[in-house]
Amino acid sequence: MKRERSVLIIYTGGTIGMVHDESRDTLVPFDFSHISDQVPELHRFGYSVNSISFNKPIDSSDVDPALWAKMASAIEENYDEHDGFIILHGTDTMAYSASALSFMLGNLGKPVIFTGSQLPIGLLRTDGRENLITSIEIAATMIDGEPAVPEVSIYFENKLMRGNRATKMSTEQFNAFDSPNYPLLAEAGTEIRFNRQHINRGAGRKLKVSEGICSDVALLKIFPGISPAAVRAVLSMPGLRAVVLETYGSGNAPTAEWFIAELRKFIRMGGIAINVTQCHGGRVEMNLYETGKRLLDLGVVSGRDITTEAALTKIMHILGSNGDISSERANMLLNRSLAGEIS
Ligand code: ASP
């Protein structure tokens, strides 16, 4: 017998899960088993909406690779019984978690939608109710018998974005996320419109979760006046295997000899360096200016139009899930789109 359509909500924490505690006059996380008290509309979907809650809801500033692994296993354990998954998550690190999960959930064939809110669900003007309800609807949508969006995405304020293309852009607007280098996967107005030509097709193979994440990575943002001591301190960190360089514009960095020498030393010793832009949109083109060309000659990999969040989690995944991978092979994988994160 065919089972009823079903969506699983995985509650990790974040602002969305807060209610006002009258006795203490503060915002406190609410008991998620009572979610339908807050969102009675959940009974009206006509399919089953179940939820699980991680022990002790957290502010997403405390998210770490162990929590990514926990989210991935929750999806794996419940994969066959559900048609789609919603991860309720704080907005601060949502783009990192969505990027990480996009790499960890190999052969994904069902929707995994991250959402949250800027105002707690227990407040009158909350954006959480709409975000949650529309996410559930998208997660359960089938087109021609197939899930409409079988990939890891972020839904926020009417926009469904590929998770590893999204970035948080506002601390206060309801429209908190943007996908500067990739079209929206869907837009919700009076109808939900799916941009099908931009949505990955499901792999049609068994879900393959890889939980390995390597944290021996660093992010180095270049700025005018950055000191040799600062660059050296980062690049000589014990055990460092990869650095994401956030450079200017189309991938340009200082040409000072000391800077080039530090990077050369790191790369010669087997280190991996990925060049991403500090700009909100656009791509790295290291051939455009002499300042970028020098990095290319050193063996720095172009991040192209990847977000910083996706670049970091991609290299953490590559190094964490491929044993003793050589830097040549890691560079080759970085150059390849693993989950639609680069064009
Ligand atoms: N600090 C909160 C978090 O990321 C903010 C939010 O949920 O929007 O958990």
Tell me the Ramachandran region of residue 28: left when phi exceeds 0, alpha when psi lies from -120 to 50, beta otherwise: beta
pLDDT digit string (tens) for 280-322? 999 998 888 877 888 999 999 999 999 999 999 999 999 999 9
Residue 195, pLDDT above cutoff 90: yes
Give yes or no: 171 in active site: no
What is the CATH architecture of 6-209? 3-Layer(aba) Sandwich (3.40)
**Mean of all residue pLDDT scores within the chain:** 93
Q: What is the pLDDT of residue 317?
A: 98
- The domains spanning 6-209 and 217-334 adopt the same CATH topology: yes
> Which of the listed residues 27, 54, 56, 59 should we mutate to test ligand 1's pocket, taking the one with most ligand atoms within 8 A of CB?
59
Q: Which of 30, 92, 118, 174 to mutate to test ligand 1, by most ligand atoms within 8 A of the CB atom?
A: 92
**Confidence check: pLDDT of 24 > 90:** no
Domain ranges of the chain: 6-209, 217-334
CA distance 343 to 274: 16
What confidence score (pLDDT) does residue 55 get? 82
Atom 7 of ligand 1, nearest CA residue: 90
Pocket of ligand 1 contains residue 116 by CB under 6 Å: yes
Query: Is the model's pTM score more than 0.85?
Result: yes
Confidence of residue 107 (pLDDT cuts 50, 70, 90): very high
CATH of domain 217-334: 3.40.50.40
Whether 125 and 119 have beta carbons less than 8 Å apart is answered as: yes
Query: Which atom of ligand 1 has the smallest separation from the CA of 15?
Result: 7
What tens digit of pLDDT does each residue of 321-338 get?
998 899 999 999 999 999
pLDDT tens by residue, 74-92: 999 999 999 999 999 999 9
CB 328 less than 6 A from any atom of ligand 1: no
From 15, 115, 167, 313, active-site residue: 15
Is the minimum distance from the CB of 59 to ligand 1 under 6 angstroms?
A: yes
Residue 2, pLDDT score: 64
